[in-house]
Every structure is written in C-alpha cells, then in structure tokens.
Amino acid sequence: MKALVAVKRVIDYNVKVRVKADSSGVDLSNTKMSINPFDEIAVEEAVRLKEAGVIDEIIVASIGPKESQEQIRAALALGADRGIVVVSDNKPYPLQVAKILKSIAEQESADIILLGKQAIDDDNNQTGQMLAALMGIGQGTFASEVKVEGDKVNVTREVDGGFQTVALSLPAVITTDLRLNEPRYAKLPNIMKAKKKQLDEKTPADFGVDMTSKQEIIKVVPPAERKAGIKVGSIDELVDKLRNEAKVI
Amino acid sequence: MAILVYAEHDNASLKKATLNTIAAAKQMGDDIHVLVAGSGNQAAADEAAKAAGVSKVLLADNAAYEHQMAENIALLVADVAGDYSHIIAPATTTGKNFMPRVAALLDVSMISEITAVIDAQTFERPIYAGNATATVKTTEDKVVLTVRTTAFDPVAAEGGSASVETLDNIQDSGKASFVNEEMAKSDRPELTSASIVVSGGRALGNGENFTKYIDPLADKLGAAVGASRAAVDAGYVPNDMQVGQTGKIVAPDLYIAVGISGAIQHLAGMKDSKVIVAINNDPESPIASIADYFLEADLFDALPELTSKI
C-alpha cells in the first residue's frame, strides 16, 4: 500500500508571533519555520505503518512557497521515500490545497492519505475533510489510534466528551491529533540520505488548479490586550476580590 | 435567502452550543432554519423549535445519521443547501468534522471558528493560536462557516414556535461506519458552557491530587474541571478535559488555573475568560501575565484553604 502525507511549512510553534504594523499579516521575515507539528505526527504514523509492513511507499507533498522543500526534506529524513513540492505564490487556502492533493492521491493511487488535523498558522482544520469529500471517500479526523485491517482502517477519534471509533474503507483520509504518536528525531545520516531522495517540483497549473480564492484576509491585528492584573498576598484577599471586586463568586 | 443552522444534540436533547450558534446566525440574517439530523431525535427537534428566533426546523431522523458521521451528514447538508445563503454549525468536534466536507461538496471555501460578525460576508476569527485576529471577507455565493460558541451569548431556549418539517432525505455514503464510543462520565457542568472552570496542570503531580485538591473546590463553586495538556498527557485526567488550542476553548466568567504555567497552546483555550485567577509558585510563569489575580503560593496549601473559605 502507498501512503500520501501532506505537510505544511509554518512558523515554528515556539516562536512568538508578531503582527505587522500595517495589519497586512504576521511578520514571517527571519523567522524560524518548521513542519506543522500535526503533520510531523502524520509523517511519523506513515513511517510506523511502513515499519509494520502495512505501507510500502510514503510520498510527502507540500503546497506553498518554494522553501517548503525544506519541510519535505525533513520528512524524508524521518523515513518518507520521496517528495512532491507544489510551488504556489498565492497563499494556499484549504479548498485549493485539497484539490491539488486529490490529483496527487489519484495519480499515485494512494491508499492512506495522512494530514495533520490543523495547521498552527491559519488554525482552519479543513483540508483533510475537504480532500475526503472531493475524493468521495471516508475520513477519520482527530485520530488518536489507527489500525489497518485488510482493506479497512479503524480510526479512534478524539471527540468532545471522549473517544469514537469508526471503520473506513480504503482509500481513506486520516487527520492526526496530538496523541496519535510521539514523532522521532531525524538522525544525521538520515538527514544526509534524505538529500539524495527524489523531490519533484510542480505547480498548481500542472494539476489544473487555480489558486485564487474567493476568501480574503482583509486585515490581521493583535488580539485585544487584557488589562494588567494584580498580585494578591493571601487567600483571604483573593476571596475578597472575587466576591466584591470581580463579583464572580 | 434563509440561513441554515446545524443543531448540536445527542438525539435526546439539544446542546447549548446550538443556541450560541443561532445567536451568531441572527447577526447575518432574520430567517433562521435549524437542521436537526440524527436518529430518534424528535425531542431535540421539538426543543429547537422553541428556541427564540427560529422560523423552521428540519428534522432528519434516520439510522444513517445516528452518530453524525461526517460522510452522511455532509451529503445531507449539501443536498438541502440550495435554499440557503449561509450554512452555519458550532465549532464542536462534530461541526469541525463535517462542515469542511459540506464546503468542498459545494465547491466553496469555508471560514472556521468565527468570533465576531462584521457583516453577512465579513467575519473575525483568531489565527496563530489566538495570537492574532484576522478579518476575513468571502465573496462565495454560499457562506459556509463554523462559530466559536463562547464568543456569542446564546438565544433564549424558550419563546419560539417554529414549525417542524420532516425530511425523508436518506444519505448513506457506505464508506464509513460507526464502531463504538467511549465517553467520559461527569456529573459536573459541561466544560465549554460552565460559568466557572477550575483547571489543574502538571504541578498537581498525579490524578489522585486532582480528586483531592481540584474537585472539592470545583464542587463548592459548581464549576467544571479542566486541565492543561501536560496534565492530560501525564495521564492525570482524560483528554476531554483539556483546555487549549488542541482541546476545548472555554470563556467562563471565572477561570482558576492551578499549577499551570500558561503555554500559548493553553492560553489560546482560555484567555477570553472574563476573570482569570492563577495560583502558582512561580511568579515568572506566563500565566501571571494574563491573570487578573495572581496568587504566588504552593497549591497544596492554597487549595484547601481557598475551598474552606468560599
């Protein structure tokens, strides 16, 4: 079986985000960029499925700026076999990304398509579901456990209130939640070997996808600041403040 | 054209998130219809018909919808979408699961977790774990979006008298089936709708200390109990108690964070709370910078005292 894993180049999750003064967006110049953490979990899951003998080949795709190659190389160093970077100057919106991934998944005849549940920049949580809809196949979102059995996959999902398990016919789309696994670190020899692995460069036009979106971000501003709080010296003072000042108890 | 709101429910009764979502819908238009899809869900539909501001309830009652599987629900919603300008669902795990599927079936982009309505085509939503707020405009013919329920005050549960129309539209994709579910049991108020939340972090040390220190305070306040990801990952409490970007988003009147340092992932889930109290032995922890009241103390001394004095 083949796995397709989608990874996104995003600001590193440890970086404190700065909004640009002209409200046009977030300042990404000279900022550390990484694989979206949920996508790293998706890569790890694919590699584990390969180690378990379920998957024969792992293809990693990324849609975005040319530099997204770095994130694909990182995924190759973790154990993926080859990469496809789809270079787009337009901001990638989930619907267009899903359309490109659909073409790749069909061209490659992928049986399992893994994505992160959301990217930590746009926090959309849409691409996996849209991809499954476009392909007309099942989806296992927010996965915390994945078990492939024959031509089916059982996915345990994190839902409000607990866990739900669904059975999906393959091919299927799975989006990863944080608890699915602990991604490994790339070893230096593997980073060196990853440089020799195949990485094809494509454009959205190769897949016949127009990257313009009818959705537009008009402005980006910092969130409203909370007014500075105070330090209280004792429980008595805290209880008094909550009762008489904040009036919340 | 009318607005379609997807109802969150457990077949037997409507979830409050639906009322918050109707409130958001009312800021986009007047004619609001509510779709209640499930199995044996007549009671939930009757409840929806009583919600203030609802003019029609669509009831889809079939085994195919029992577990709200995204594959089937999305086909149903996309099928009835023709009559609506806006299709709206609460940003619960159910809404997040099927709504992007609806958008893709309709070939439109989608807007996730809006926190404010500027006009019927323009919305605000948090990005970068709540570290920035984006204003998003859409020119799609159909506006498909989910609503962060804590950002909108619910409409009244009583007072409406909408008609209930039964749909006989049965959609079964055949691609996915329900196997089982394992729900955490709790007698406390639901985390996302509680007016007071007491949350514990890694500093609690183990699960027994949650029971021993956090629960009595929560019981006395009638509060829900939450947790940081560190506490969940350490196995102290189940994951549905996790507050944060990857867990639940809460905005209660009072949020008490105990032994939580305040990583941005956690702050994204609770920083819209009205009043934030932090009890921590480290005055330099990030939680101190957003707390309205910060008490530097050892939680094992402070919590029993706080519980006894409330």
pLDDT digits (tens, 9 = 90+) for B67-83: 999 999 999 999 999 99
pLDDT at B163 exceeding the cut of 90: yes
Report the chain A residue with the minimal C-alpha distance to residue B75: A133
How many beta-carbon pairs under 8 angstroms link A with B?
249
For B126-151, the pLDDT digits (tens) are 999 999 999 999 999 999 999 999 99
Residue A28 distance to chain B (closest CA, Å):
12
H helical segments located in B81-190:
93-105
- Determine whether the interchain pair A168/B96 forms a contact, defined as Cβ–Cβ distance below 8 Å: no
Distance CA A167, CA A163 (A): 14
Of B105, B90, B101, the C-alpha closest to B48 is B90
Distance CA B262, CA B270 (A): 10
Please name every residue paired with B181 in a beta bridge, in sequence order, or none if there are none: A164
- Determine whether the interchain pair B180/A165 forms a contact, defined as Cβ–Cβ distance below 8 Å: yes
Query: Do the Cβ atoms of A99 and A67 come closer than 8 Å?
Result: no
For B212-251, the pLDDT digits (tens) are 999 999 999 999 999 999 999 999 999 889 999 888 999 9
Tokens for B83?
Answer: 């009559």
**pLDDT level of residue B293 (50, 70, 90 thresholds):** very high
Task: Note the pLDDT of residue A177.
Answer: 94
Q: Got the DSSP string for B15-36?
A: -HHHHHHHHHHHTT-S-EEEEE
Q: Phi-psi region for residue B32, left (φ > 0), alpha (ψ -120 to 50) or beta?
A: beta
Count other C-beta atoms under 10 Å from residue B289's C-beta.
14
- Determine whether the interchain pair A248/B196 forms a contact, defined as Cβ–Cβ distance below 8 Å: yes
- Determine whether the interchain pair A123/B133 forms a contact, defined as Cβ–Cβ distance below 8 Å: no
- Determine whether the interchain pair B176/A160 forms a contact, defined as Cβ–Cβ distance below 8 Å: no
Mean pLDDT, all residues of chain B: 96
- In chain B, which residues have their Cβ closer than 8 Å to the Cβ of A95? 103-104, 107-110
Residue A232 distance to chain B (closest CA, Å):
5
Residue listed under structure tokens 């103390």: B297
**Three-class secondary structure assignment of B45-67:** HHHHHHCCCEEEEEEEECHHHCC
Q: From the list B130, B178, B295, which residue is nearest A223 (CB)?
A: B130
- Determine whether the interchain pair A123/B293 forms a contact, defined as Cβ–Cβ distance below 8 Å: no
Of B265, B305, B32, the C-alpha closest to B130 is B265
Tokens for A34?
Answer: 């990484």
Report the chain A residue with the minimal C-alpha distance to residue B308: A235
Strands B122-127 and B132-138, sheet pairing: antiparallel
Q: Residues B284-298: what's their mean pLDDT?
A: 96
Task: Note the pLDDT of residue B245.
Answer: 86
| Whether domain A2-221 has CATH 3.40.50.620 | yes
- Determine whether the interchain pair A164/B290 forms a contact, defined as Cβ–Cβ distance below 8 Å: no
- Determine whether the interchain pair B294/A226 forms a contact, defined as Cβ–Cβ distance below 8 Å: no
For B180-222, the pLDDT digits (tens) are 999 887 789 989 889 999 999 999 999 999 999 999 999 999 9
Of B270, B279, B253, B137, the C-alpha closest to B196 is B253
Please name every residue paired with A138 in a beta bridge, in sequence order, or none if there are none: A172
**DSSP conformational letter for B14:** B
pLDDT above 90 covers what percent of chain B? 94
Residues 164-203 of A with CB under 8 A from B: 164-169, 172, 177-179
Residue B92 distance to chain A (closest CA, Å):
7
Distance CA B118, CA A246 (A): 30
Buried b (16+ CB within 10 A) or exposed e, B180-198: eeeeeeeeebebbbbebbb
Distance CA A92, CA B109 (A): 12
Residues 173-192 of B with CB under 8 A from A: 173-184, 192
pLDDT at B32 exceeding the cut of 90: yes
Tokens for A33?
Answer: 């960029």
- Determine whether the interchain pair B105/A133 forms a contact, defined as Cβ–Cβ distance below 8 Å: yes
- In chain B, which residues have their Cβ closer than 8 Å to the Cβ of A130? 100-101, 103-104, 110
Query: Do the Cβ atoms of A174 and A112 come closer than 8 Å?
Result: yes
Radius of gyration in angstroms for the set of CA atoms belonging to chain A, rounded to a whole number: 21
Task: Note the pLDDT of residue B185.
Answer: 79
Residues 219-238 of A with CB under 8 A from B: 219-224, 226-227, 229-232, 234-236, 238
Query: Do the Cβ atoms of A141 and A170 come closer than 8 Å?
Result: no
Of A158, A130, A144, the C-alpha closest to A63 is A130
The tens-digit pLDDT sequence of chain A (249 residues) is 999 999 999 999 889 899 999 999 999 999 999 999 999 999 999 999 999 999 999 999 999 999 999 999 999 999 999 999 999 999 999 999 999 999 999 999 999 999 999 999 999 999 999 999 999 999 999 999 999 999 999 999 999 888 999 999 999 999 999 889 999 999 999 999 999 999 999 999 999 999 999 999 999 999 988 888 999 999 999 999 999 999 998
Residue A70 distance to chain B (closest CA, Å):
21
Q: From the list B69, B112, B293, which residue is nearest A124 (CB)?
A: B112
Domain ranges of chain A: 2-221
- Determine whether the interchain pair A16/B239 forms a contact, defined as Cβ–Cβ distance below 8 Å: no
- In chain B, which residues have their Cβ closer than 8 Å to the Cβ of A133? 74, 100-102, 104-105
Amino acid in the structure at residue A20 = K
Residues 31-90 of A with CB under 8 A from B: none
- In chain B, which residues have their Cβ closer than 8 Å to the Cβ of A113? none
Task: Note the pLDDT of residue A249.
Answer: 87
- In chain A, which residues have their Cβ closer than 8 Å to the Cβ of B104? 95, 98, 129-131, 133-134
B160 CA to centre of own chain: 23
Its pTM stands at 0.94
Distance CA A201, CA A68 (A): 11
